[in-house]
Amino acid sequence: MKKRYKKIASVVLCTAMLATGLSGMEVMAKETDGEEVTLEVWSHHSAPQADLLASLGERYSEATGQKVKVNYTEVAWDDYIGTKLTTAFASGDGPDIFTTCPPQIARYVSAGIAMPLNDYLPQDVLDDFNPSFIQGVTFGDDICAIPTQGELLALYYDADLFEKEGIAPPKTWAEMIEAAKALTTDTRAGMTMRVADDSSVVFDWLPFLWMTGADVMDVENKKSLLDSQGAADSLQIYHDLMEAGALNVKPSRNADEIGILCEGETAMQISGTWAIQQIEDNYPDSNIGVLPIPVQKEGDTSASAAGGWQMVVNSQSENADIAAKMLAWAFAEDMEIPTEWCTEVSFCYPARKSILEAASDVYEKGLRKVYTEEIFGTEKPELRAPADVYKILQDMIQQSMYESDGKTAAMEAHEKLQEFLDEYEDVI
């Protein structure tokens, strides 16, 4: 019997929906007759993002007259990307609105949970979004979420340390690896990037792959592309850093937290736009530099990955229509909320072009200027793929660090990915 790579969560969710006689497009909006509607909103976000999400009901009520109350629930990250949501949807107790990200969204589309929002997003509204953001939430003809932001990756470095040691900030992979070796001591790693065996390690690796001109797969034709020289070369970075003992494999905290660099635990760190706010708030006296992720060789174009969060409406909700209207108003029509989300609550790049134009002064301030002038525009959306694909890539990166060279790891992952794609029948 052939293996069928269907998401278990999707099967559970679809079964639950059939049992209740619901499908994504058959859910009817509840008539409220002017009564207050309570919407359950779930996310892993804590304050200040949580405060903004919790305030959406009050703001929407004031702006439109439709009485909406939001009950916000913060779910621990491991539970959020684990089974918390899928279990809630399977039992019919899922939230009306929830946040998701590229590695997770396909499971909710496959299960019919993610409600298509095309009817709530007129063309003039869609035209204000960066096309790549909309592409990332579009399945077939259906727009299944509203993107809120892009979080771009860059290389941060200890500018004082580099100056003291007479080392120029690296522009190429070779320079980055040599700097990491030279700056590694008994108490300091040369380089920190995400290396733990979870989906986040793939996010940090993708820019290295993309700047070679390679990619993970051809989705339309269901073909693995990991048998490329670019894939092998991008993985060799991990192998070489690990072999030199320059890679921080046991960071003191989450590997994307910039305190690792600011407190002297590492000389360089791959991190994202979120680090800017952390530096300004917690390490205002530190001398941290930021630059585009180094390229394979001089003359190449750098690349970055754009992660970010997407707002989804639960198609099973009896208040799905109101939930969709509120989200469309908050993140696709209103200017105040998405501007606040991207420039005050945290620092990230907005999904909408008008927000970037309106807040241009924020994006030219301090280290933000490097992002705006040298990194923004080089990004590609974070890989949208089933968890099975992410697991293959995670194992590949782990293999390149601990077991083999980059080429061997890439070729073995290529075979596994192609086997998966040959059997997979669901959406990507």
Per-residue pLDDT band at 314 (split at 50, 70, 90): very high
d(CA 267, CA 246) in angstroms, rounded, equals 10
Over the stretch 366-423, which tens digit does the pLDDT of each residue have? 999 999 999 998 998 899 888 899 999 999 999 999 999 999 999 999 999 999 999 9
CB contact at 8 A, 352 and 338: yes
**pLDDT of the residue at 216:** 98
Tokens of 39: 């919407």
In the predicted model, what is the mean pLDDT of residues 286-315? 95
pLDDT score at 33? 55
The interaxial angle of helices 8-19 and 102-110, nearest 10 deg, is 40
Torsion of CA 361, 367, 368, 371, to 10 degrees: 140
Rounded alpha-carbon distances, angstroms, from residue 306 to 314, 317, 326, 376, 399: 25, 30, 25, 9, 25
Higher pLDDT, 150 or 31: 150
How far apart (Å, rounded) are the C-alpha atoms in residues 82 and 91? 16
Helices assigned H by DSSP within 244-309: 259-262, 274-282
Tokens of 294: 């180094």
The pLDDT score that the predictor gives to residue 199 is 86
Tokens of 320: 């799905």
User: What's the pLDDT tens digit per position in 254-273?
Assistant: 999 999 999 999 999 999 99
Q: What distances in angstroms separate CA 156 from CA 6, 97, 259, one per listed residue?
A: 39, 35, 11
